[in-house]
Structure 1
Amino acid sequence: MNKASNIAAASNSNAAQELVRAMRPRQWVKNVFVFAAIAFSEDRLWQFWGPAGPAPILRMIGAFIAFCLAASAIYLVNDLVDIEKDRAHPKKRHRPFASGRLSPSVGIIAAGILIACAMPLAFALDPSMAFLGVLVTYVLVQGFLYTYWLKNVVIFDILVLATGFVLRAVGGAAVLAIHITPWLLLCMLLLALFLGIGKRRHELTLLEQGAGEHRLILQEYSVPMLDQMMSIVTASIIMAYSITAFLAPVAPQEPYPMLMVTIPFVIYAIFRYLYLIYQRGEGGAPDELILKDWPLATSVLVWGLTVLGVLLFFPN
């Protein structure tokens, strides 16, 4: 009995570990974009920590958690739909469902539980239901339209993924009922396109002639085409962010727009990412890349600290 109980316990522990892995907690870093609403809103930073205490900040953290729950549910559904295709991929075949280490039924149940937790949390954070509406839109677009249809439509497959970043920023604004500059949304969209194009390029170069067998949509792309798109988006990001920094209503404008000091960090981070894509063949997992490449991670961290310092120590 003891031996059988130990085997069952070990099996349950392994299943739990594989489930957590399938939920892709490393990709939760994408959800930090919900906090962008604070830095680039039309309201001062310290207004979010007033006499009532840190409640607004806690709501932002709650919004981050809600997006993490919803995103993990979408990852589970996406892996279940692509289980056969992932088995033909040199890296994705090691994923829990594709490798057979995790039962599909466990994934279905877990995805349902995650959604069932995310939606009530969204309503509790914002009874006006604005944030709930954003989260529902995110699930419908990313979890259903993309998974079952748009990921097989050329160009739209990249654009739809990019909208996920925009919805995160909008969700962060909705949960606090604040307005954010439209330039920030454009920056989010362009950054997401930048990462998405880099990921498609990595898949093409990794799979080479077998790319279409893994994912039919890859047959519609070529490396030269993606390189052209990358060039356009790279220049657009730098210009859009520069305008965002110059015009941000929350930042001091005298004697000059103070947020312009953050532009060099953005340029370095973009160029560093291009270096990793073109010289080191990276880019397949942007969320992991930013965590393991210390120059890239440092540039992002310094950018964030500089933005925070400008907003806190230079009154508008």
Structure 2
Amino acid sequence: MQSSPTAHAASSSVFKLLFLQLRPHQWTKNLLIFAALLFSFESISVATVVDTIIGFFLFSFVAGCVYILNDYMDREADRNHPTKRNRPMASGALNPQLAIAFGTILLLASLVSSYFLNPLFTVLLVIYFIMNVSYSLSLKHIVIIDIMIIAAGFVLRAIAGGLVIHVPFTPWFLICTMLLSLFLAIGKRRHELSLLEAGMGSHRKVLDNYSFALLDQLNSIVTTATIISYSLFTFTSGRTVHLMWTIPLVIYGIFRYLYLIHIEKKGGSPDRVLFEDKHILITAVLYVVSVVCILAFFE
């Protein structure tokens, strides 16, 4: 007995809603997993590329499960929000219990699958999940801690990239990742604060504890530390010193982002800025191409 077109359409709609619930537009953050592969260019192979791609999706699925749990807990409040009310559960289009069941199965399947890549990768995914659930429940309301948790999430992504292909990562690389992540998180809070003062953004409880002066001071410290740390990384990572030629690209990318934050009033979604601002996008592409060429011909 064949299913009716109506039943097939309903099934397709549910699968689409479940996929949207994972917030695939946020997966660009997980591209950091490929950083370890980029800096291990000399040992790249089909196996390492495949493992990194699998690791990317597993990390994205676990992150998606955090979004499912977060939206499940906030669905009543989201219904009164001008934009969040359009989310699958808040809008009533997706059954909350079905979403939770799907998220539970996906989380367990992702953790089991990750074990075959590297058991330490599984441990990292568990830590990431617990940390982000804790962030959603309470840590996002604690000043300073909130931006440090966001930065820690990016550091875990960088470590994950090394674990899935079994390559070591240098302390300088992790420091650079942490500082750059703090830079983006501070910029995000500044953007939210500017929207709040203009009466255009939603009120985050933690924003009451921030000011433009404080965030600008934090950004000055982190920007300086990021540039210095990356410069030291290019000389002390044990790779070719010709990586120093990428320093101007990093400086320009940071300065361009500061311009977007202070002049264009952007920076609320770093993942969107990457694709919407052609200057940032071209700089990122040039950086990747430069690193590959330098490691390929000057190593």
- Scaled by the length of structure 1, the TM-score of the pair is 0.86
Deviation at 1:194, TM superposition (A): 1.3
Task: Measure the CA separation in 2 of the matches of 1:84 and 1:198.
Answer: 29
Aligned 8 A contact 2:196 2:202 in 1: no
Aligned 8 A contact 1:134 1:167 in 2: yes
Aligned: 1:151 with 2:156: no
Task: Measure the CA separation in 1 of the matches of 2:188 and 2:94.
Answer: 26
Aligned to 1:172: 161
Task: Measure the CA separation in 1 of the matches of 2:263 and 2:88.
Answer: 30
Deviation at 1:152, TM superposition (A): 1.7
Aligned to 1:29: 28
Deviation at 1:107, TM superposition (A): 2.2
Which runs of structure 2 are paired with 1:148-227 in the superposition (5 Å)?
148-208=137-197, 214-227=203-216
Aligned: 1:137 with 2:127: yes
Aligned 8 A contact 1:89 1:214 in 2: no
Aligned 8 A contact 2:37 2:52 in 1: no
Number of equivalences: 298
Aligned to 1:64: 56
Question: Which of 209-218 and 287-296 deviates more?
Answer: 209-218
Task: Measure the CA separation in 1 of the matches of 2:296 and 2:209.
Answer: 48
Aligned: 1:306 with 2:290: yes
Aligned 8 A contact 1:162 1:193 in 2: yes
Aligned to 2:227: 238
The letter for the 2-side match of 1:71 is: A
Gaps of 5+ in 2: none
CA RMSD of aligned residues (A): 2.4
Aligned to 2:236: 247
CA, structure 1 residues 135+258, in 2 after alignment: closer, same or farther (shift >3 Å)? same
> Which whole-Å deviations, capped at 9, do the CAs of 1:289-316 have from their partners, x for residues lacking one?
211221111110110110011111113x
Aligned 8 A contact 2:187 2:261 in 1: yes
Aligned 8 A contact 2:37 2:48 in 1: no
The letter for the 1-side match of 2:146 is: D
Aligned 8 A contact 2:195 2:201 in 1: no
Aligned to 1:296: 280
Aligned to 2:259: 275
Q: Percent identity?
A: 42
> Which whole-Å deviations, capped at 9, do the CAs of 1:136-194 have from their partners, x for residues lacking one?
1111112x221222112111111111111111111122223321110110111111111
Task: Measure the CA separation in 1 of the matches of 2:244 and 2:278.
Answer: 24
Task: Measure the CA separation in 1 of the matches of 2:195 and 2:7.
Answer: 39
Aligned to 1:107: 99
Gaps of 5+ in 1: none
Task: Measure the CA separation in 2 of the matches of 1:296 and 1:159.
Answer: 24
> Which whole-Å deviations, capped at 9, do the CAs of 1:35-59 have from their partners, x for residues lacking one?
222344xxx532233xxxx222322
CA, structure 1 residues 209+243, in 2 after alignment: closer, same or farther (shift >3 Å)? same
CA, structure 1 residues 18+222, in 2 after alignment: closer, same or farther (shift >3 Å)? farther
The letter for the 2-side match of 1:195 is: L
CA, structure 1 residues 5+134, in 2 after alignment: closer, same or farther (shift >3 Å)? same
Deviation at 1:242, TM superposition (A): 1.1
Question: Which of 259-268 and 54-63 deviates more?
Answer: 54-63
Aligned 8 A contact 1:81 1:147 in 2: no
Task: Measure the CA separation in 2 of the matches of 1:266 and 1:260.
Answer: 10
4+ residue runs of structure 1 moved beyond 6 angstroms? 209-213
Aligned 8 A contact 1:86 1:214 in 2: no
Task: Measure the CA separation in 1 of the matches of 2:152 and 2:56.
Answer: 17
Deviation at 1:108, TM superposition (A): 1.0
Aligned 8 A contact 2:235 2:243 in 1: yes
